[in-house]
């Protein structure tokens, strides 16, 4: 089984997984329960989610550790469980990975705002990400995905911490952008070229974007990344921007929409394609077929 | 430039160090705390909110402006009758049951705190009754609910229903927001207000409190 770096070098488009939150809710996450604690309380439910995405054709699945940094876990008084929550999340995901599906550790934002705008020091942020990344590396992840970042400084700190925690573990780093009259920016004001340059400089193997936009807009984000860098790019769109139909909220982009857009992303040379909020196994299956139709298997 | 305009522009520039002296100078000139709040601080914050909405500035500028506002409010507060700011109030915030997304909700909390509200943040995946219990416990003026997911709109209606059943309508007002929300949906759900984004939420909450 070849690792992420070898597969990226082969030039094939890798398929990532879809949304985790909705899947967790469907398994009956208790009210007020810390989602990440499920790796201790109900690991088999997590394994089933991983298995579903793996069977749907994902080359890369993610652990249920988006909020698994001690800073986030502290909101539930669980920061002392950082090590076992993250390690066990890797074990649960691995148990569901079929064939040569790779397991990447999800690392989301700290939930705090760095000084001088907020009260989080850079050292505190680094320490928090380092602890989580160390536990993920000890659990045996094939990669770590730093995702949904809006503050470039925080993203850079997270990537540095991941690289230090597992020097041989590849790191994917994606941020959430919104369209503005001056091009795509995160809500903190980071543009795509700036993000690409800084994340690559600290050793991200793959850079890109997740969340915030549907796949049509994400094609434009991918173009912005491609214009900025020759580096490997990852794109994980939402299933569109949620809208209201007949009083119910609903994500408009279907698996067919994803399948139709995928060839454009492949043509742009995007290395990893997956889904974020609103996507499920049907979107991933559709992407699998679209990607396989595009790239001849070597 | 008048002193009150200077306060508004200094707030927009996020210069929190300069705010206490300017605020004291305005009080010394005989401006009332309410005038300073409305025509200086809130006027300045409104400009920042508009510029944020128009993507002329990004969140760091909003956060700095909110901090500058806080610096001025700390000077103003003791000068309000009874030592309490009459314009600020208490807001209970949370992401509704079934939903774990909290970036938007956290922004709203930061900005409301910045403009002098007491914010009780219940976190994510908050059950309907917990919103109302917290509102009663903290004597909140407003309950703010956020959601991103497809399934969570009905939960907001449940909260509105409980507020009505407990006879708190008019006393505890509700505001909703989040990517899938709209003014129409807010009305369908029986909420008192809807905000498109965090600066908008601050405006609407101030209106809700003012109209009580």
pLDDT exceeds cutoff 60 at B91: yes
**Among A75, A113, A249, beta carbon nearest to B123:** A75
Question: Which comes out higher in pLDDT, residue B159 or B155?
Answer: B159
Answer for the pair A239, A277: CB distance below 8 angstroms, yes or no: yes
Q: Exposed, middle or buried, A20 (CB in 10 Å: 0-12/13-18/19+)?
A: buried
DSSP code, position A74: G
- Cα distances from B33 to residues A75, A121, B49, B87, in angstroms, run 37, 34, 22, 10
| pLDDT (tens digit per residue) in A87-102 | 999 999 999 999 999 9
- First-to-last C-alpha distance (Å) of chain A: 15
pLDDT exceeds cutoff 80 at B84: no
**Among A35, A241, A250, beta carbon nearest to B100:** A35
Weakest mean pLDDT among A29-33, A264-268, B50-54, B140-144: A29-33
pLDDT band at B81 (very low <50, low <70, confident <90, very high): low
pLDDT exceeds cutoff 60 at B186: yes
pLDDT exceeds cutoff 70 at B86: no
User: B58 vs A243: CB contact, 8 Å cut-off?
Assistant: no
Q: State the average pLDDT over residues A239-252.
A: 75
What is the widest separation between alpha-carbon atoms in chain B?
Answer: 54
Task: Please report, rounded to a whole number, the percentage of residues in chain B having pLDDT higher than 70.
Answer: 92
Q: B-chain residues within 8 Å CB-CB of A111?
A: 102, 106
Strands A206-210 and A171-175: parallel
| pLDDT (tens digit per residue) in B63-75 | 899 889 889 988 9
Q: How far is B101 from chain A (nearest CA, A)?
A: 9
| pLDDT (tens digit per residue) in A199-230 | 999 999 999 999 989 999 999 999 999 999 99
Q: pTM higher than 0.95 for the full model?
A: no
pLDDT band at A185 (very low <50, low <70, confident <90, very high): very high
B154: left (phi over 0), alpha (psi -120 to 50) or beta: alpha
pLDDT band at A2 (very low <50, low <70, confident <90, very high): confident
**Among B54, B64, B150, beta carbon nearest to A242:** B150
Strands B173-177 and B193-194: parallel
Average pLDDT over chain B, rounded to an integer: 87
Q: How far is B124 from chain A (nearest CA, A)?
A: 7
Q: What is the pLDDT of residue B34?
A: 85
**Among A180, A187, A242, beta carbon nearest to B179:** A242
Q: E-assigned strands of chain A? A: 14-15, 60-62, 102-107, 143-149, 171-175, 206-210, 232-236, 243-245, 248-250, 272-273
Q: What is the pLDDT of residue A246?
A: 65
Q: Among A113, A178, A109, A121, which residue's Cα sits nearest to residue A146?
A: A109
Weakest mean pLDDT among A87-91, A213-217, A294-298, B170-174: A294-298
- First-to-last C-alpha distance (Å) of chain B: 34
Q: How far is B31 from chain A (nearest CA, A)?
A: 30
Q: What is the pLDDT of residue A113?
A: 87
Query: Residue B101's closest chain A neighbor by CA?
Result: A21
pLDDT exceeds cutoff 90 at B106: no
pLDDT exceeds cutoff 60 at B76: yes
Q: What is the pLDDT of residue B199?
A: 79
User: A32 vs B182: CB contact, 8 Å cut-off?
Assistant: no
Q: What is the pLDDT of residue A296?
A: 47
pLDDT band at A125 (very low <50, low <70, confident <90, very high): very high
Q: What is the pLDDT of residue A298?
A: 42
DSSP code, position A30: P
Q: State the average pLDDT over residues A49-66.
A: 97
CB pairs under 8 A between A and B: 88
Q: B-chain residues within 8 Å CB-CB of A182?
A: 55
Q: B-chain residues within 8 Å CB-CB of A71?
A: none
Strands A232-236 and A243-245: unpaired
Q: State the average pLDDT over residues A48-72.
A: 97
What's CA A266's distance to the chain center, in Å?
18
Q: What is the pLDDT of residue B111?
A: 78
Residues 191-230 in A contacting B (C-alpha not used; CB under 8 Å): none
């Amino acid at each position: 089984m070849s690792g992420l770096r070898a597969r990226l070098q082969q030039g094939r488009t890798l398929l990532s997984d879809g949304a985790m939150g909705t899947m967790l809710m469907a398994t009956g996450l208790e009210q007020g329960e810390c989602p990440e604690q499920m790796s201790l309380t109900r690991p088999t439910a997590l394994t089933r989610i991983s298995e579903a995405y793996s069977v749907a054709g994902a080359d890369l699945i993610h652990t249920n550790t988006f909020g698994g940094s001690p800073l986030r876990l502290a909101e539930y008084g669980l920061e002392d469980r950082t090590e076992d929550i993250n390690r066990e999340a890797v074990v649960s995901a691995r148990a569901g990975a079929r064939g040569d599906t790779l397991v990447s550790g999800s690392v989301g934002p700290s939930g705090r705002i760095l000084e001088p705008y907020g009260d989080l020091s850079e050292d505190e942020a680094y320490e928090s990400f380092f602890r989580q990344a160390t536990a993920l590396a000890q659990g045996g992840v094939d990669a770590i995905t730093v995702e949904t970042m809006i503050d470039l400084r925080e993203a850079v700190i997270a990537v540095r911490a991941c690289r230090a925690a597992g020097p041989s573990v590849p790191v994917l780093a994606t941020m959430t952008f919104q369209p503005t009259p001056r091009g795509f920016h995160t809500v903190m004001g980071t543009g795509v070229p700036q993000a690409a340059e800084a994340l690559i400089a600290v050793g991200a193997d793959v850079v890109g974007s997740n969340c915030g936009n549907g796949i049509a807009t994400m094609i434009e984000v991918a173009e912005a990344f491609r214009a900025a860098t020759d580096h490997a790019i990852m794109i994980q769109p939402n299933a569109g921007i949620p809208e209201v139909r007949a009083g119910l909220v609903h994500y408009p982009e279907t698996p067919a929409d994803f399948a139709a857009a995928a060839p454009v992303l492949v043509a742009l040379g995007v290395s990893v394609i997956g889904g974020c909020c609103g996507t499920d196994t049907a979107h991933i299956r559709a992407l699998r077929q679209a990607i396989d139709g595009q790239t001849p298997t070597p | 430039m008048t002193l009150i305009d200077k306060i508004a522009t200094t707030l927009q520039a996020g210069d929190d160090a300069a705010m206490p002296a300017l605020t004291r100078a305005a009080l010394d000139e005989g401006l009332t705390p309410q005038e300073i709040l409305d025509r200086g601080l809130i006027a300045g914050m409104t400009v920042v909110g508009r510029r944020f909405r128009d993507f002329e500035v990004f969140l760091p500028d909003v956060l700095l402006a909110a901090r500058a506002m806080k610096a001025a409010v700390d000077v103003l507060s003791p000068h309000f009758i009874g030592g309490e700011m009459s314009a600020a109030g208490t807001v209970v915030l949370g992401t509704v049951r079934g939903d774990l997304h909290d970036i938007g909700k956290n922004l709203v909390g930061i900005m409301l705190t910045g403009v002098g509200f007491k914010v009780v943040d219940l976190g994510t995946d908050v059950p309907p009754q917990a919103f109302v219990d917290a509102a009663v416990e903290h004597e909140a003026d407003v309950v703010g609910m956020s959601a991103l997911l497809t399934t969570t709109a009905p939960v907001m209606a449940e909260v509105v229903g409980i507020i009505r059943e407990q006879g708190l309508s008019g006393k505890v007002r509700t505001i909703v927001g989040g990517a899938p929300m709209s003014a129409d949906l807010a009305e369908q759900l029986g909420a008192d207000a809807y905000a498109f984004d965090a600066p908008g939420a601050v405006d609407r909450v101030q209106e809700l409190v003012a109209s009580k």
